[in-house]
Amino acid sequence: MKSFISNLFKSLDNHSLGYSGRKLTALFSALMGAYITFFKLPIEQQFNALCVWLLLCVLCLGIVTFEQIIKFKNGKDDQQS
């Protein structure tokens, strides 16, 4: 437990020790998003809020980029037929 807390605080610095900031942001945004969505929001808004929190997670992890989202929204495709 001591090493977990130590690495958690080391991840706030700008060196390679500790955990990844992107992964920590994704983890805590998913946890806070789930808490806020299920316990604080009315049932009508829960699906949309959960989608936004999960979008933040995938953006932080680099799975999806803003460029990919804009291309998907505009209907542009990189594949040539």
Per-position pLDDT tens, the chain of length 81: 888 888 777 776 666 777 777 777 778 888 888 898 889 989 999 999 888 888 888 877 777 777 887 888 888 765 554
CA distances from 39 to 28, 35, 68 (A): 16, 6, 32
Query: What are the tens digits of pLDDT across the range 18-41?
Result: 777 777 777 888 888 889 888 998
pTM value is 0.57
Task: Show Cβ contacts of residue 18 under 8 Å, excluding neighbours closer than 6 positions.
Answer: 7, 8, 9, 10, 11, 12
The rounded distance, in Å, linking the Cα atoms of 18 and 65 is 25
Domain residues of the chain, as ranges?
26-62
